[in-house]
Amino acid sequence: MVKAVIFDLDGVITDTAELHYQAWKNLANSIAIDFNREFNEELKGISRMDSLNKILQHGGVADQYTEEEKLELATKKNEEYKGLLIHLKPENIYPGIKEFLNALKQSNIKIGLASASKNGPAILDYLQITDYFDTIADPDSVINGKPAPDIFLKAAEQLGVSPQDCIGVEDSEAGIEAIQSANMYAVGVGTVEVMRKAGADLVLADTTELVWDQLQEAFTAKVN
Ligand code: G6P
Ligand code: MG
């Protein structure tokens, strides 16, 4: 029985995945590394420092930067990203998300956030939806980032719900893998081919398809 829905944030609740893309692209280009959308898919769901390390490897320059210089680069990206975030407003919540959150509340389903982003709480505030969330898993509180299941398990633990009673919602390959490894039901939204390849239990083209009754039926059909 579904008792909780645990959300990823960037690219699921709002289009911040695009803002991450812009900020990383500018950072990569500033150090002469090519950056395109296909490569960007590999960064979705991945922590800030892991993303930077992947970018440097992609550019073949991973060994040319000290840890201190890497921290400077990551900070530079984050400052640009935070500058983009200040424009976020409730209107930027993806269509269907508010309706879905309201339906979950009405059915007494717990709501959690399992984002790798340290900017997660600020983004929920900009969007004015913090109060919907019963818990937010702190990415600093887990050792292993996605695709490891840790952050989804942490959110479930904080909610006091068993993983098999949770639905996880993600837009990234690493995130779907994390939900599956956590033994939760995985819903993928966004790039349909990527979500299919990642092995989501249910693939939705966009967030308007997050309809509580239908999701519950799909979950029950898989469990029984
Ligand atoms: C999410 C995004 C990633 C981002 C990570 C860390 O998982 O999908 O693209 O790198 O969070 O975000 P932060 O805001 O802490 O740099
Ligand atoms: Mg995401």
Rounded to whole angstroms, the Cα distance separating 10 from 18 reads 9
| Res. 37: pLDDT tops 80 | yes
At 166-209, the pLDDT tens digits run: 999 999 999 999 999 999 999 999 889 999 999 999 999 999 99
Q: Whose CA is nearest to atom 14 of ligand 1?
A: 117
10 catalytic? Reply is: yes
Query: What is the best residue among 18, 47, 84 to mutate for testing ligand 1's pocket, by most ligand atoms within 8 Å of CB?
Result: 47
In this prediction the pTM is 0.95
Q: Supply the ipTM of this predicted assembly.
A: 0.98
Distances (CA, A) of 56 to 8, 27, 80, 170: 25, 11, 18, 26
How far from chain centre, in Å, is Cα 58?
A: 22
Residue pair 59/53 in contact by the 8 Å Cβ criterion: no
Site to substitute for ligand 1 among 53, 115, 117, most atoms within 8 A of C-beta: 117
Q: What is the pLDDT of residues 119-167, one digit of tens each?
A: 999 999 999 999 999 999 999 999 999 999 999 999 999 999 999 999 9
Residue 224 has pLDDT above 80, yes or no: no
pLDDT of 190 reads 85
Tell me, in angstroms, the distance from the centre of ligand 1 to residue 55's CA: 14
If pLDDT is split at 50, 70 and 90, which confidence band does 46 have?
very high
Element (H, E) at 167: strand 166-170
* 58, 74 contact by CB (below 8 A): no
Q: What is the pLDDT, as a whole number, of residue 17?
A: 93
Buried-state track 14-31, b at ≥16 Cβ within 10 A, e below 16: bebbebbbebbbebbeee
Query: 213 CA to middle of ligand 1, Å?
Result: 30
pLDDT digits (tens, 9 = 90+) for 65-123: 999 999 999 999 999 999 999 999 999 999 999 999 999 999 999 999 999 999 999 99
Between the CA of 94 and the centroid of ligand 1 the distance, in Å, is 18
Which residues have any ligand 1 atom within 6 Å of their CB?
10, 17, 20, 43-48, 51, 78, 115-119, 172
pLDDT value, residue 143: 95
